[in-house]
Amino acid sequence: MLNRFTYPFCYVPHPKVLAAARELISHIDSDGQLRDIFSEGKMLGVMLCLDQDGKELILNAFSGLAKGRSQLPGFVPPIYDTQGLTPAVSAEDSRRIQGDLFRLYRVHNALGQEASVEEIFALRGLVPPGGTGDCAGPKLLEHAYRNGLTPLAMGEFWYGQAKGAEVRTQGSFYPSCTGKCGPLLTWMMQGLDVEPNPLDKGFDYGAEPRVIYADEAIIVVDKPAGMLSVPGKTEAKSLLEWLQQRYGEVHSCHRLDMDTSGLMVFARSLEAKTAMERQFAEREVHKTYRARLVSGNSPFRHARKGTIALPLSLDYYDRPRQMVDFENGKKAISCYEVLEVLPNGEIEVEFSPITGRTHQLRVHAAHEKGLGRPIKGDRLYGDSNGGRLHLRAATLEFRHPINGETMKFK
């Protein structure tokens, strides 16, 4: 029996969840009607449960509507079926309708408590966004509670065509969204023994930061994967704090994602910090990254060398994920070169970012209009197999902030 229920916002799917997902995909592929319904692209979910006799069973769910349908054979029903609204209610002001619906969406948790979606969000001083309660995760949990089932493990994955803005790949698992499902699933999981959030763990990769160069103005350091660049929301020690304990006054000039390893430069005075930040702002700092892309479900058909220009914006309801946004996104440009295709189908790539947006290389690698392959270990953008993120800041070139000398590190 499984020890703890899946932490849905950052997880590696349990092997039985993976097997259930493969079985569901195979079932959809072999059923012409279901294949047609889901081919346009849909987030699906599977949950492993125990019934009252101790027998394991699998529940399936889909997010939202499937070609206008709220219910399909073999999938759990919605928490509240909005297709049953009367014409009088449907004609009211949309905002008032939404408020009414969130009072009608009543859910349970493993403690036996019941509350509406509106009440759950109000506990945090929030108003639920549209569509809250219609994702696969909440549907699965609520169906389990209503039917006396014990949830053991869960996962959500994509089926069908990718949809423009978000990074979505057939068969890939993704974390539950933090905006709509964050407060809701957190409340619904009360009473379950849930896996700890991996992001709350301290720095435990077993490698210390390595100082490459230091003088009176700057420090160049090799940051290990899993370490924060600067202090964050957790109590884990950041690289900046690690340096300050050893060198006294140290200031950050730029950042790497926590899971990204490699070269960073820090300033040892405000004067040096200002000079370095000016170089970063004017794109005078040259960086390259090494990444390993997953093998993928189809042959890699992109050119060996090229440029990716996909503007990015924050996915407001699923922080910290970014999405491709051609209307309001900020310009994001990356050059790439394929260095090697490994025997197992994984691909070694060198990236040279022209801009420096949050998660830029991760999205440019994973999005269908980019390279269409997530970076190995990138659970946010489609690789849920676990392990570290295979993205490393490999080279760094800039002018010394005091004497102007060109500095190159590798």
- CA pair distance 214, 216, nearest whole angstrom: 7
- For residue 56, the tally of other CB atoms under 10 A from its CB is 13
- Paired with 305 in beta bridges are 337
Instruction: Spell out the per-residue pLDDT of the chain, length 410, in tens.
Output: 577 999 999 899 999 999 999 999 999 999 999 999 998 899 999 999 999 999 999 999 999 999 999 999 999 999 998 765 544 444 455 556 666 889 999 999 999 999 999 999 999 999 999 899 999 999 999 999 999 999 999 999 999 988 768 888 889 999 999 899 999 999 999 999 999 987 666 555 557 899 999 999 999 999 999 899 999 776 778 999 999 999 999 999 999 998 999 999 999 999 999 999 999 999 999 999 999 999 977 778 889 999 999 999 999 888 889 999 999 999 999 999 999 999 999 999 999 999 999 999 999 999 989 999 999 999 899 888 878 899 999 999 999 999 999 999 99
Residue 350 forms beta bridges with which residues?
Answer: 290, 337
> Does the domain at residues 283-401+406-410 carry the CATH identifier 3.30.2350.10?
yes
Give the burial string for 181-204 (b: 16+ CB within 10 Å, else e).
Answer: bbbbbbbbbeebebbeeeeeeebe
What pLDDT is attached to residue 371?
94
Q: 176 vs 36, 75, 155, 179, 259, CA distance in Å?
A: 25, 18, 9, 9, 19
In tens, the pLDDT along 126-155 reads 999 989 999 999 999 999 999 999 999 999
Q: Are strands 347-353 and 286-293 parallel, antiparallel or unpaired?
A: antiparallel
Indicate left, alpha or beta for 404 from its phi (over 0: left) and psi (-120 to 50: alpha). Answer: left
Whether cis (ω within 30° of 0) applies to the bond prior to 151 is no
Architecture of the domain spanning 203-282: 2-Layer Sandwich (3.30)
3-state secondary structure of 241: helix
**pLDDT at residue 86, as a whole number:** 46
Output the pLDDT for position 107.
Answer: 97
Q: Where are the domains of the chain?
A: 15-198, 203-282, 283-401+406-410
Give residue 206's pLDDT.
Answer: 58
SS3 306: strand
Confirm if 410 and 279 have CB atoms less than 8 A apart: no
- Using alpha carbons only, how large is the chain's radius of gyration in Å? 24
Task: Give catalytic status of residue 318 as yes or no.
Answer: no
What gap in Å lies between CA 280 and CA 354, rounded to an integer? 11
- CATH topology identical between 203-282 and 283-401+406-410: yes
Cα–Cα distance list, 278 to 28, 215, 287 (Å): 54, 20, 16
Q: pLDDT value at position 88?
A: 47
Which residue is catalytic, options 222, 257, 259, 383? 257
